[in-house]
Amino acid sequence: MSEPQSSLLLRKQLAELNKNPVEGFSAGLIDDNDIYRWEVLIIGPPDTLYEGGFFKCHLYFPKEYPLRPPKMKFVTEIWHPNIDKNGDVCISILHEPGDDKFGYEKASERWLPVHTVETILISVISMLADPNDESPANVDAAKEWRESYSEFKRKVARCVRKSQEQEEC
């Protein structure tokens, strides 16, 4: 095979997303010559604290995709229990079965080869609306979310505002 299947598959998904965009995010490449590194803009989901924000994320795919999952990182600053302070997203579907770094209770929603950029993004958007505080990557955010919600809201609002300013310039 001259071109690895992972790269063909990613090309196909990118073309499909450009042709039939999915509500809530837009997708492109960080560098047009590298199909393994994507840049995605997530629109803060309506009726959540993140509404109105524009969050830029990067997805890094391994050569073994879709057998192994990509990594995802928020480039825009964001305050959320399941996104660590460096922006790394920690949700179960981006982890392989057996990879128990965050001690998830359920193995049911681990990485599967049938996941696509679209299904990943749908999970991440739903995570924004509904944090999982049982396995937090940002412990401070999780604690605030549970115990001082108004402070949590304030920090998220600041991120949303900052993200809007960044988009404008």
Partner 1 sequence: MRMGDNNEGGLGTSKDEPQMNQDEMILAQQRQIEKEISDSIPLVGSLEPLESLNKEYLTDTVYLEKVKDLAKKYKFMRRTRPDGNCFFRAFSYANVEILTGKKEEFEEFYKLAENSKNALVELGFQQFTVEDFYDTYMEVLKRIKTAPTVEESKNELHTLFNEQGFSDYMVVYLRLLTSGQLQKEEDFYSCFIEGHRTVADFCHQEVEPMYKESDHIHIIAACAALNTGVRVVYMDRGTGKSCTEHDLPEGCTPTVHLLYRPGHYDILYP
Name the token pair of 117: 């950029």
Three-class HEC string of 127-162: HHHCCCCCCCCCHHHHHHHHHCHHHHHHHHHHHHHH
Select from 46, 112, 133, 146 the one that contacts partner 1 (CB under 8 A): 112
Is the Cβ of residue 115 or residue 155 nearer to partner 1 in the bound state? 115
Select from 18, 119, 126, 164 the one that contacts partner 1 (CB under 8 A): 119
Closest CA to 130 of 82, 63, 94: 82
Is the Cβ of residue 28 or residue 113 nearer to partner 1 in the bound state? 113
* 57 is known as an active-site residue: no
DSSP 69: P
**Residue 153 Cβ vs partner 1, minimum distance, rounded to whole Å:** 29
| The amino acid at 83 | I
Residue 19, interface with partner 1 (CB under 8 A)? no
Residue 99, interface with partner 1 (CB under 8 A)? yes
Which residues are part of the catalytic machinery? Answer: 90
